[in-house]
A = this chain, B = another copy of it.
Amino acid sequence: MHYGESALQDILRLKPDVAILDIEMPKRTGLEVAEEIQSLNTKVIILTTFARQNYFETAVRIGVQGYLLKDSPTDRLTETINAVVKGATVYDPELVRHVLRTENNPLTEREIDVLQAIAEGKRTSAIAEAVFLSQGTVRNYISSILSKTGAQSRIEAVNIAKKHQWMNR
């Protein structure tokens, strides 16, 4: 395990063109390091296992030049390094898509669970069983889903949610 602190010291000393940082490191996270060195000309690429939107968003806010997931194809890293050196900014497309999906998604986790059950054609009692909630709660959720989507009926809500890809996670 590498220490964020030593990474920071190395970068400050060596002033590399590109620094590839993990996020979860002891002492200092990759994001903290990235923030510290933003005044340098060193480009930062975050390479991490964690697809947490929170991390991604702060990375973008700090202004890193790259953000990749460790499970993305290996040659993508080399491509990204080359692109970043040339001045480009590269964000993992999966992640961007995911953020866009959740960003505009007005539905909560539970509401999505319920909506998925609705899409299968289940009626309230069956939905309640499927998600282990009382029928009343399910009806409340549906009511909320309808008002959030602006739909007039369960089916319309499903149609709208599908169009916006709000129904997957």
A residues apposed to B, CB below 8 Å: 118-123, 126, 151-159
Contacts and interface: CB of A to CB of B under 8 A. Distances in A.
Contacts of A155: 118-121, 154-155, 158
Q: Which of A118, A121, A156, A158 has the most CB of B within 10 A?
A: A121
Contacts of A123: 152-153
A160 to B, nearest CB: 8
Q: How many copies does the complex hold?
A: 2
Contacts of A121: 151-159
A101 B121 CA distance: 23
A154 B157 CA distance: 13
A122 to B, nearest CB: 7
Contacts of A122: 152-153, 156
A141 to B, nearest CB: 16
Nearest to A155: B121
A120 B154 contact: no
A158 to B, nearest CB: 7
A40 B118 CA distance: 60
